[in-house]
Amino acid sequence: MPRTGTLANRMPSARDVAAILAIPERTVRDKWREWGLPAYKIGKHLRWRERDLYARGLTARPRDTRAGPAITST
C-alpha cells in the first residue's frame, strides 16, 4: 500500500517553501529558477517537491521528533 504524506510525496506551495527555508515568500517566487529548483504548475499555482529542496541542499533534512525533544546538558 503506498504511503501518503511522506517526504517524497509532499508538494509544498511557495508559502510552505518559504517557511521551510525561513525566507520571505517573494524570495521563493523570484529565485527558484536561479536555485535550479524544478517547479510544477498545478492549476495556476506553483508547487515544488519537498525532496527536491533537501536534495539541492537548500535546507537540512528534518530531524525525527518521534523520540521527543533532545535533552542537552548545560
Q: Are 33 and 71 in contact (CB under 8 A)?
A: no
Secondary structure of 8-64 as H, E, C letters: CCCCCCHHHHHHHHCCCHHHHHHHCCCCCCCEEEECCEEEECHHHHHHCCCCCCCCC
pLDDT digits (tens, 9 = 90+) for 7-48: 567 899 999 999 988 899 999 999 999 988 899 999 999 999
The pLDDT of residue 68: 43
Is 47 a member of any domain?
Answer: yes
The pLDDT of residue 6: 56
Q: How far is CA 9 from the centre of its chain?
A: 11
Reference 28, options 49, 11, 10, 46; nearest CA is: 46
Enumerate the β-bridge partners of residue 47: 40
Is 21 a member of any domain?
Answer: yes
The pLDDT of residue 67: 46
Is 67 a member of any domain?
Answer: no
As for how many domains the chain has, the answer is 1
